[in-house]
Amino acid sequence: MASNPSAPARRRARRGEAGSAYMIVLLVLVVLTILALSLAFLTQTEVQIGGNERVTNRVFYAAESGIAAATARALVTADYKAHVYTFADPGTVASLGFTETVDVSPVSRSERLRTRRRDKS
């Protein structure tokens, strides 16, 4: 006949396990919280990167179109004076003021030489 542990012995064995499910649930919640916070941080970073990339592209293309407009103006009218071009961002409301300003000015030969001398030293 197999000996069965008595009821008090079983209760004593279970007392050592009391609260273990609670600890496991708390551990799982901590892990899930850390995972959720890292995902939120990653999403926020991606949104900032996208915004920075949009601004960078907008400024680059505004500068490129300003240079193209200045080149066309110089070729057509032989006007080599400085000029300021303002470009509105397409797809935005004009009253919000999303514009880029490009200041195009000619560089004289003496200014180029001064710049080269500064770069060499």
Query: Nearest CA to 102 among 76, 77, 79, 71?
Result: 71
d(CA 63, CA 97): 17
- Lowest mean pLDDT: which of 30-34, 74-78, 94-98? 94-98
Alpha helix segments (H runs only) across 1-121: 7-17, 20-77, 109-120
Is pTM beyond 0.85 here?
Answer: no
**95 vs 31, more confident:** 31
Burial of 26 (0-12, 13-18, 19+ CB in 10 A): exposed
